[in-house]
Structures are given as structure tokens and as C-alpha cells.
Chains A and B, each alone.
Chain A
Amino acid sequence: MKHSIAFMATLALVLTIIGAGFVHAASDTKNVTLNASVSACATLTLTNTTIGFTVNSSPTTSSTIAGSTTTTVEAQFRNTTATPATLSVAAADLVDGASDTIPITAVHTTAAGTGGGSGFFDTTSRIAWSNSGQQLGTGQSGDYTTTLTYSLDNSWSYKVGSDYTTTATFTLTSL
């Protein structure tokens, strides 16, 4: 009988202490659902969009002619897919008033840098332009800026006194 009462008293004390623990350690948790809608977009900015080449030396002396200025290119885009965005340039051959031409492949650009971040612009080589479009850069979503320098392959076939012109189109494609 005494043992039984002692046991029950101990049990009561233990349960009381456990109960007290429940009472004093209180907590409450709430969840908030968050949504963020990020839309796809692309912006291409070019500065100095008129480039000139003055060919006043022979190909023997100067195999390439430097462009009169450089172009700053900023490509800002956000992809919706894992497919990288691309920047390309396309142009028709340069032509003068007498329909003489300089092939567009004689025009080259070189990027000063990859543009920052994970990199976008191709800096590995002097890139020859093309009629159908030549890729200048590729990469994932970001904001990339570089400076393009221009050069023109010199040739004996260029006619003295001719003024060759063309228009190039830069296209940033983001999917």
C-alpha cells in the first residue's frame, strides 16, 4: 500500500513537471506563400553607329585598315528557356555608286571583353562579318557590355576614289 502510494505520488510529480514544460515553451508558426513573376525581355544598345575606313595605303604596307571609331555594345536580356541568347551581325557587301563591291567578309570586329558576369561576347578571335549573320556573342540571362573595334582587310582591288557603303544589322535573340 505504501509503495503504491509512493509510486503514484512520484508519477504525479513527474507528470506535473512534464505538463509544466508544455505550458511554458509556447510557439506558433505561420506560412506565407510568395510569388514572383519575372518576364522575358531583351534590350540592345549601340553607341557610335557610323564607322568609317580610310584606305590610304597599299595592302603591302597595311594589310588591315582600322575603323574610325569603336562601338560600345550593351546586351541586356532574360531568357525564358535554357537556350542561350545570341547576338549576331549581318550586312550586305559594301557597294559604291558604280556597283563595285567589297565583300562584307573583309570587315571584322574584335570584342574588348566578354562583357562581365558569366560572359557573352566572343573575344577569341577577330570575327569576319557575313551576309547571312555572324555570331558575336552567346550566353545566359544578364547584362553584358563590351567595346567592338573594327578593321577592314586592305586589297589592291579597291577602286581609288570610290565610296563604299553598307548597313549592318545587329540582332539580339533571346528565347
Chain B
Amino acid sequence: MAATTLLLPLLPLPRYEMKARKLFALTAVAAASALGAIPGPCSLYAAGPPAVQLFVTPNKISFHMTPPPSTAVCEVTIRVVARRRTPWRLTVLAPGPLQSVKGSQIPASRVTWKASPGNIFFDGTLSDKHPQMLGRGEGSKVGVVRFLLKNDWDLAAGQFNQKFIFNLSSP
């Protein structure tokens, strides 16, 4: 669209047509700049793939509980794809406690995690109220997060489910 605008012929035109073309050109430039389709002072990185991307595998995890007292463990691999030196932060949140169909609950705070490498990804405790910081860095990184659930006698029996929401953001 921008190219079309720049190739408008510079020939003498009637006044009303000049006006229409100027209007069209300005609108085109504004729209294109806003969408980041052409280089401009404030949209140098607009074109191409997103500035940051998050991949978490697997997307389904299970705690295999052995008789208490014990600790069940499951693991996910985190991959952050970002342009070189693009800063990012990663958080994780559970929208509620682990819930069984019979109404029993396991508090989200009962789930902790250990993450590596430690200089980028942090250990923590899950919350269903506030997103918890899981990592911070620049550029593309890969890490492993081991979630831990302490299995003790006070847990009710049942099948518990919940989802973890991983959010990657770049300022």
C-alpha cells in the first residue's frame, strides 16, 4: 500500500483529484504505519514474527502419587523465543485450587516448583491469586520446571484437575 502511494504520478492534475489523492495518500500512510507494515521511526520491528513466543511442553501433566508421605513430581520444558536482547518475563498462575469432581480441593499453594537454569528461571510456589514470577531474561532461552506436590494424609482422595497459565511478556 505504501509503495502504491509513493508511485503516484507527479503530473498536473485537476484540483479536486489532487485533494482526493492527498487524502488517500495520508490515510494510507497512517494506516500502514499504525499496522507496522512499513518502516517508520516508531515501528522498526513491526514486520515479521512476534517479538516473543512461548512454548511449553507437554501441555498435559500428571502427578503420580505414591503412598504418603511422599512428593509427586512432574516436569515441563519451557522455551522462550525472542529476538536477541529482547527482554521478557515469565509468570505462572493457577486460576483456582486443584479441584475434584466431588468438590474436594488441594490449595494451589501446595504446588511448588524448582526451575533451571537458576540464573534465568526461579523456584517458587504456585498461587491462585497472583501470577508468580517464573523467569526473566533476554533473547531465546530454554528451561526445565519440575512441579512438586507434597502428598500427605490430609489430602482427600479423588481425581484433581486444574490448569496452569504461563504468561510471557515483553515490555
Contacts and interface: CB of A to CB of B under 8 A. Distances in A.
Interface in B33-57: 33-36, 40, 42-43, 45-46, 50-56
A36 B60 contact: no
B102 interface: yes
Contacts of A124: none
The residue in A18, A19, A34 that gathers the most chain B C-beta atoms within 10 A of its C-beta is A34
A23 B162 contact: no
Contacts of B56: 30, 32
A8 B98 contact: no
B152 to A, nearest CB: 7
11 contacts: A5-B22, A15-B34, A16-B30, A18-B34, A19-B33, A19-B42, A22-B36, A32-B60, A32-B76, A35-B61, A38-B156
B19 interface: yes
Interface stretch (A61-69, A75-83, A153-161): A75-83
Contacts of A141: 153-157
Given A18-B34, A32-B166, A38 B152 contact: no
B154 A143 contact: yes
The residue in A22, A37, A143 that gathers the most chain B C-beta atoms within 10 A of its C-beta is A37
Interface residues of A, number: 44
Interface residues of B, number: 64
Given A5-B22, A80-B157, A19 B35 contact: yes
A46 interface: no
A29 B167 contact: yes
B168 interface: yes
Contact of A79 (B23, B156, B160): B156
Interface of A: 1, 4-5, 8-9, 11-12, 15-20, 22-41, 76-81, 117, 140-143
B165 A9 contact: no
Contacts of A9: 26
A23 B60 CA distance: 31
Interface in B140-168: 147, 149, 151-168
The residue in A5, A16, A143 that gathers the most chain B C-beta atoms within 10 A of its C-beta is A16
Given A12-B29, A36-B62, A37-B159, A31 B164 contact: yes
B36 A32 contact: no
B171 to A, nearest CB: 7
B154 A117 contact: yes
Contacts of B53: 28
A22 B63 CA distance: 39
A80 B60 CA distance: 24
Interface stretch (B6-14, B65-73, B115-123): B65-73
A37 B64 contact: yes
